Amino acid sequence: MLKYTLTILLICTITLSASNFRDGMIAYKNGNYAKAKKLLEIAMEKDKVFNASHILGKMYLNGNGVRVDLDKAIKYFQLAHKYGNIPAGCYASKAYMKKGVFNWGILEDGLARGLMKRTRFCMSVVDEWQNK
């Protein structure tokens, strides 16, 4: 009986975690940024869905429903990158460049894995860096 109860609890937890992230993504794609921010923060902090931090970073990078805050964007992108989100590292480098940082030593950490995987967005960030 205990094994059955634990299995049900685990399934419910996974479903709720996916729901916050999924619903946050839907709100983001529909332009409902206030709702997206709230749900993605819950998904990241409570549910430990760290890909949510990538979307939060994009919101702060582009000013979607929040004031542009490049430091917050970088923090969120670096968290997502730490947990394996390769494009998030490239977005972190893009945010650094928006801050006026064009030092390869700083940009390299975010871009290296993306370049090895030939991620399109990472390639465009490198092109932008080279043209500055």
Instruction: Assess whether 45 and 91 both reside in one domain.
Output: no
- The more confidently predicted of residues 72 and 16 is 72
> pTM above the 0.75 mark?
yes
- How many Å apart are CA 23 and CA 69, to the nearest integer? 24
Q: For residue range 46-62, list pLDDT tens digits in order.
A: 888 889 999 999 999 99
Q: Of the candidates 71, 111, 72, 105, which has an alpha carbon nearest to the alpha carbon of residue 91?
A: 111
Give me the domain span that covers residue 96: 50-132
Six-digit token string for 31: 């332009």
Q: What mean pLDDT value characterizes the chain?
A: 85
Instruction: Give the tokens for residue 91.
Output: 């977005």
The verdict on 38 and 62 lying in the same domain is no
Residues 54 and 40 in one domain: no
Residue 66 has pLDDT above 90, yes or no: yes
Q: At 132, which CATH number?
A: 1.25.40
